[in-house]
A and B are shown apart, each in its own frame.
Chain A
Amino acid sequence: MHNIFLIAKREYFEQIRGRAFRISTILVPLLIACLIGANYFAAARMGAGKHIAIAAADARLAEDVRQRLLDDKDAKLTVDVVTPASEADQAALLGKIKAKELDGVLTIGEAVDGAPALTYASESSADLVNTRWLKTAVKLGLAEGRLRAGGMSADQVNGLLENVKIEPLHLGKDGKTAKSEGMSPVYKANVLLILIIIPITLYGMDMARAIVEEKSSRIFEVMLSVARPIDLLTGKLLGVGAVGLTQVAIWGLAMTIFLGSTLAASVMTGDFAVHISVAEVALLPVYFLLAFFLYSALFSGLGATCETAQDLQMYVPLIIVPMYLSMAALAVCMNSPGSPWAIAASLFPLTAGFVMVPRMGLETVPLWQIAASIAIMLLSIWGTMWFSSRLYRVGILMYGKRATLPEIWRWLRYS
């Protein structure tokens, strides 16, 4: 234990004093904020504020579609109507797109078998947002025309076609419903995932790189003459884990200070109104450490089998891929947090550390699942540490060439 503590202490202070720690502590939250801001901005503004023209044979339909488009306040569109539009008119409108006077032209043809032929021309081949808006507007315009033709008044038509709003309610385990927090849990889940995944990737990679470097400088030959490989590995993991935890704690503290500020009160509303439960606060460091130890032990084993940084780079995706699969698993959790897939991702050791805490923000996770996932992760860490410390012991002494899979298997059998 004495040596584990000494090794952990050395790792901790060497990393904390390093420039990489200071830079990543500041840059990672900035990047997350930029990423969320950019996504939100892009989603809110995408396709908005455009100037389009409707070229149609049916003037009434064109006017109805225009009105529907203008009713969408988020779209902020400017809509011109040209009816009836001859081929020359249509060509002239397309020319205006070229001249940047228009963003797009919606052509509504003659209705054949009830549905008119529609085209939308713009300079972007993937103008999907506009296409979606236009499709809805034309559908509503057509329905409006038909309902009117059927004898309904304008008010009746509007009442019928008015947008239906659904208020999302969250059903708790106690059977009571509460107003859903909208997109807020989704944003929170993504932030939590990034908060866990980035330090683990950074420090895990750092650990593997350090082992490759230290292997080539023979530090471990000296260290192994003093300490057991498992002590070396455990000390290193504890030290670097404490560094990661320090970083997450700094971010947590910064976030708490920010959430208490007047600036946060003005920004963190609606979808950004974040509510963090006590359980999430308590379990975030637990799952962070569990995932950290598991992945770092894997990274260490990988480092022990590689001879150079280039070798390491080649094999890193083997570990990174399951880590980033958690992002896909989280997407499943967001749609149905209680589904078998979400439960499996919360129990599977390679994804549990990333998925469980974000999932807790989406639903009340049963206690047995939390206990089982912690137990499975602890067992996996023990197994990985055993595996990696054997690779570590033999791998760091076998220098000169890259290990092949059969060799790694044989290393595990060496004493």
Chain B
Amino acid sequence: MPVVSLEGITKAYEDKVAVNNLSFSIEPGQMFGLLGPNGSGKTSSIRMMIGMTYPDAGTVRLFDRPVARESLNHVGYLPEERGLYKKMKVLDQLVFMGCLHGLATAESEKRAVAWAKRMEISAALDKKTQELSKGMQQKIQFIAALMHDPELIIMDEPFSGLDPVNATLLQDTLLELKAQGKAILFSTHRMDQVEKLCDSICLINRGQALLKGNLREIKSRYERNRVIVEFEGSAAFLESAEVAEAKNYSGHAEIKLKPQGDAQKLLREAAAGAKIYRFELVEPSLEEIFIETVGGRADA
């Protein structure tokens, strides 16, 4: 049974159709990436999932029921920009959010303290939010979205403002939650993170789904015509007749072959003038698929 499912939802504001006949669903234990350029309809879709706005057409089902206020106690939402009371102390803020999600005050405080320890912000519990760095505030927002142990976790750009160490901390936490069977929806522009974390994606543009399904399956639809080369010596092979595009980052090259380009021939040409440490034929990255798909539609 899907945790959340969107069935042909459409939402328009004035003349602008924000979401157009969009359908997808997220199962328990699934990490789902909702991707799309700015203004593509990601936030509008999320707002309908959490009952903030209603679709003009189609249905949203949460825990196999139409969206109801009570169901939202099982949803954790982290918005793209910080939504915290600046003058409120961190612990008070977390307890307040926990209580709003149906926890008793004592339980809410207990969980807030435990989560703060886990996220390494115990020292900040007694401070006002406005006294903290952007990264710290992001962690507080993260805890506020999770402390009531939701079954569906919606994260809009969760890693923004975080340094690599803290980003890894959050990432590991999300993977743990996924292992516990929580359904997680990511809305992000960071394709590398989606590629690393998500099982399934839905790529939308102008409110419509352009690509959706299992990430591995989607990537396998694309020809393995990308080559990553690590080398020392002449870079003349990047001018080869087999190469359509190439980026050279001093000893690390990313190459896109021409439609009928021969990788073996390119390898021979490269080896003739340089010492090759790595020569790997790969499928296109999600970022390339994103640019190609969205760019192709934009041109159309």
Contact = CB atoms under 8 A, between A and B. Distances in A.
B12 to A, nearest CB: 10
Interface in A1-45: 2-3, 6-7, 10, 14
A78 to B, nearest CB: 61
Nearest to B148: A226
Interface in B63-108: 69, 72-73, 75, 77, 79-88, 96-97, 99-102
Nearest to A3: B100
Interface string A207-241: 00000001001111111111110000000000000
Contacts of A10: 88, 96
B102 to A, nearest CB: 8
B88 A217 contact: no
B72 A225 contact: yes
Contact of A226 (B54, B79, B85, B100): B100
Given A10-B96, A217-B82, A397 B53 contact: yes
A230 to B, nearest CB: 11
Given A222-B77, A225-B77, A410-B14, A14 B88 contact: yes
A222 B83 contact: yes
A224 to B, nearest CB: 5
Contact of B79 (A6, A221, A228): A221
Contacts of B82: 217-218
A163 interface: no
A191 B96 CA distance: 39
B83 A218 contact: yes
Nearest to B44: A397
Nearest to B102: A2
A304 to B, nearest CB: 14
A415 B55 CA distance: 8
Which interface residue of A220, A393, A410, A414 has the most chain B CB atoms within 10 A? Answer: A414
B247 interface: no
B134 interface: no
Nearest to B96: A10
Give the contact-size bracket for chain B. 20 to 34
Nearest to A7: B100
B50 interface: yes
B83 A415 contact: no
A222 B96 contact: no
A415 B144 CA distance: 27
A228 B69 contact: yes
Given A397-B52, A415-B53, A415-B54, A221 B83 contact: yes
A408 B14 CA distance: 12
Contact of B72 (A6, A219, A226): A226
B85 to A, nearest CB: 6
B201 to A, nearest CB: 23
A414 B44 CA distance: 14
A224 B51 CA distance: 8
Nearest to B55: A415
B47 interface: yes
A406 to B, nearest CB: 10
A142 to B, nearest CB: 71
Given A225-B50, A226-B101, A397-B47, A219 B14 contact: no
Nearest to A218: B83
A307 to B, nearest CB: 15
A6 B102 CA distance: 11
Interface in A160-203: none
A17 to B, nearest CB: 9
B99 A6 contact: yes
Contacts of A220: 83
B80 to A, nearest CB: 8
Contacts of A2: 102
Contact of B81 (A6, A218, A228, A397): A218
B198 to A, nearest CB: 22
Contacts of A393: 52
B52 A225 contact: yes
Contacts of A223: 83, 100
A224 B84 CA distance: 13
Nearest to B52: A224
Nearest to A407: B14
Contacts of A218: 79-83
A80 to B, nearest CB: 67
A6 B144 contact: no
A219 B69 contact: no
A393 B52 CA distance: 8
Contacts of B96: 6, 10
Q: Which 4 A-B pairs have the closest CB atoms?
A: A222-B83, A218-B83, A225-B77, A219-B83
17 contacts: A2-B102, A10-B96, A14-B87, A217-B81, A217-B83, A217-B86, A219-B84, A221-B79, A221-B83, A222-B77, A222-B79, A225-B51, A226-B72, A227-B100, A228-B69, A397-B47, A397-B52
Interface of B: 13-14, 47, 50-54, 69, 72-73, 75, 77, 79-88, 96-97, 99-102, 141, 144
Given A14-B87, A217-B82, 6 more contacts: A219-B84, A219-B85, A225-B50, A225-B72, A228-B69, A397-B52
